[in-house]
Structure 1
């Protein structure tokens, strides 16, 4: 059943009507199609490579990484956790740089730097060196998600953003499939030139990152209004469109009050807490799936190739959920039901030692990528103006990604092979994420109802700005 949204009855100002009449809908559709052709494929590839670099340590673990570095106790889990320490710290600064320098420059610098670090991972000899690489990798990789999410929010209409935001998590899910396939091939390759197979995993992926991703300095646009693949007429139309769209209204000049608007807004905190819960599951799943499968009785080689179809299913589920959300114009109801199969999957994994049932449970858990996609696009839809959105998304992702540190500590060595602790904590966190959708829906619907009440009373200005102003309607 479709959620009925409150209708904020507001007539456009004369200036807005003039701008709206100047926008050619045929040209607008053509411009959006151009961004789909030139921007989205690049983002998909870049993000795919990013998640390969982040999660390849999980594949490396099952064929000798921990043993060759003589890791003891929970030292491998600590390496997983350390990545998110710097990742969380640097997300907001990177996001602020996007608005100042452009998405192409920020992503190019970040990708090349972490490609170098990934390459260096292939030559580490001990725990201390591995720690340094993980900390640096987190610092440089921190910019990708908030940068991409913010740029998407400046190009596409709010109700069409979910399927574009899905590129972030679809590529993340597919990276698991490609990661398993690459790891399988490299493991079969064995030792070459005196280097263990897991070292070649880091070396090859590091080189690919540097070469492929460094090109985005030239191939990606700086802003939506000056994209190199647009004609001058199309660029002018994008400028007009920016003036018209409620979500893009407001002064582009940075002011610290925008930071405060984002960090004190309860909806940003609610979304961040919800992402934290879902993130424990996502990061634990993305890093430890090969280990979980190995713990179910499969060999190291089987664990790598059996993970491939799980991630393919995760990609299909994410694509369908985001398409459905945009198609029906609903965020809340779709996001609410997505965690149900995830919870069921964890419950099965906890409750049975049967190999087949445990493997099937991983398919259910794989639907978790859809939740993160829907939540991020939903929050992006409901933040205004630009700087509040940029800071709000970065803060939301930074807080949510603290969960990566938790995920690294719940799948610890002494709970192998079944990792009941990690699966149980993940089940509870996914339930918390599900409850967060309800809380966000209630908050945003309440705000819209209060705005409508003021409009019915003849009030024209409630003294607030951005998404709290009377002229902004939340997408539910």
Structure 2
């Protein structure tokens, strides 16, 4: 196994990576099916388990407040519904503020080192949630938690783009995004055990404090694993031979993604004026307004149906089915060769779920509970769009900029979400549910729009290539998807 070496600058890493990739760009070099499968399997077995564990824990770290809420957290800190809503929102303000510096750091420094250090840091910050010093203190801690967690999603998107072909990226994105579902199982199980132990007087600390400390320490350990065992680039992989490192570059040659990391302001301008950037960002904000509501209030909504705290935790674990939802839909998108349109059916299912929770009378709590479970599928559009950005945005600076903008809109949606759940609208909360329904419908419309733009651009480039031909793509050329006439969008 590799040992943790002194961290080189990102530029030195990129120069070595560029040399390997340039050699691999030789059109006379090919990779056999056997070698291709072997490299893919090594990436799956050595990278995905650790990266998935970090992603599962980041989901738990930001959502465990909902478990703590039914374990006495709100009462111990004298939090009103409004205070609790702001604690849900302030996390995403920190995420928003952290997005640009984190994307810059991922561009400038070794990816694995940035990711590992941030995981250790936000794990330590989460432990501080166990200190009850009042609302203002908790607001500061939640802000810092969001700030440091803002690195994880763009980092995993970059890892996915480094290691996998275009038609493999949707499935792999689905795998690590599915860890949100595993988080429901793991988090619900831990919370259930802590509530029982607390009721039986077996804990030295209140259960809500223990869950913060426990998850914080686990996250710090996962960050250490990233530092020691995740390579910054394929050419630094300790589990590949020198020959396999070249093969790893050859197998992703068709992605037409450059290696150099020089910051290009022209690519920033292109990202800001590209209609596809607008569509990606609209998906980000529209999916996250309902997500911001459901993430923070899910257990409270279920408990409001008349279930006890223990029943609520067990019922919440059923939401783990969304793990299969993420993986299944993105796998289907890769197989059908269209990740855009597979988001339409999940959006329809989610609209039905929202209407069940919203419109069924209070005594039909089983029907409303079923509605809660089938609200989840539309979130696949969030993961699908991350995958689309990874595959279809070329140019190192442009990709970082679009990823940053997408996650900014993701944050804004999650900031808005908790605020639409207002006490004065009880018990029906009609404005909140109506807003969620409209957001999910518009998300589906945006996914169709992205698909139509891809088709239009690809047809236009096919016609131009038939007339003028096209120059050969060279990996040392940092061309964007708009600048490279040979580039084809992969829906």
For normalisation by structure 1, the TM-score amounts to 0.91
> C-alpha separation between the residues in 1 aligned to 2:425 and 2:224?
40
User: Is the counterpart of residue 279 in structure 1 residue 279 in structure 2?
Assistant: no
For residue 215 of structure 1, give the secondary structure of its aligned residue in structure 2. Answer: helix
- Does 2:443 correspond to 1:429? no
Distance in 2 separating the partners of 1:208 and 1:416: 38
Distance in structure 1 (CA, Å) of the matches to 2:259 and 2:266: 13
Q: In the alignment, what sits opposite 1:366? A: 376
- Aligned partner of 1:451 in structure 2 is 461
Q: 1:284 to 1:168 in 2, by over 3 A?
A: farther
Matched, 1:260 2:269: yes
Q: Does 1:471 align with 2:486?
A: yes
1:193 and 1:162 mapped to 2: Cα distance?
A: 43
CA offsets 1:213-236 (integer angstroms, 9 cap, x no match): 222101111112221111111112
Q: Structure 2 unaligned runs (5+)?
A: 1-22, 472-477
Please list the CA deviations of residues 163-217 of structure 1 after superposition, one character each: whole Å capped at 9, or x if unmatched.
Answer: 1001332111221222122111111111666532111111111122122322210
Contact kept in structure 1, 2:93 and 2:411, CA below 8 Å: no
Does structure 1 residue 87 correspond to structure 2 residue 95? yes
For 1:61-460, list aligned pairs within 5 A. Answer: 61-190=69-198, 195-241=205-251, 244-249=253-258, 251-309=260-318, 311-353=319-361, 354-416=364-426, 418-458=428-468, 460=470
Q: 1:417 to 1:170 in 2, by over 3 A?
A: farther
Q: Distance in 1 between matches of 2:25 and 2:218?
A: 49
Q: CA contact under 8 A between 1:103 and 1:147: conserved in structure 2?
A: yes
Report deviation, 1:138.
Answer: 0.5
Tell me whether 233-242 or 339-348 shows the greater mean CA deviation.
Answer: 233-242
Mapped to 1, the partners of 2:24 and 2:213 lie a distance apart of 54
Task: Note the C-alpha offset of 1:448.
Answer: 1.6
Quick check: 2:173–2:383 contact (8 Å CA) kept in 1?
yes
Distance 1:329 1:299 in 2: 45
Deviation at 1:140, TM superposition (A): 0.6
Q: For residue 318 of structure 1, report the CA deviation from its aligned partner.
A: 1.7
The answer to whether the Cα contact below 8 Å between 1:382 and 1:475 also exists between their aligned partners in 2 is yes
Structure-2 change in CA distance of 1:301 and 1:279 (3 Å): same
- The 8 Å contact of residues 166 and 255 in structure 2, kept in 1 or not, is answered as no
SS at match of 1:28: helix
Is the Cα–Cα contact under 8 Å of residues 281 and 368 in structure 1 kept in the other structure? no
Preserved CA contact (<8 Å) 1:262 1:268: yes
Separation (CA, whole Å) in 2 of partners of 1:377 and 1:193: 43
Deviation at 1:238, TM superposition (A): 2.7
**Count of matched residue positions in the alignment of Structure 1 and Structure 2:** 458
1:396: Cα distance to partner? 1.0
RMSD: 2.1
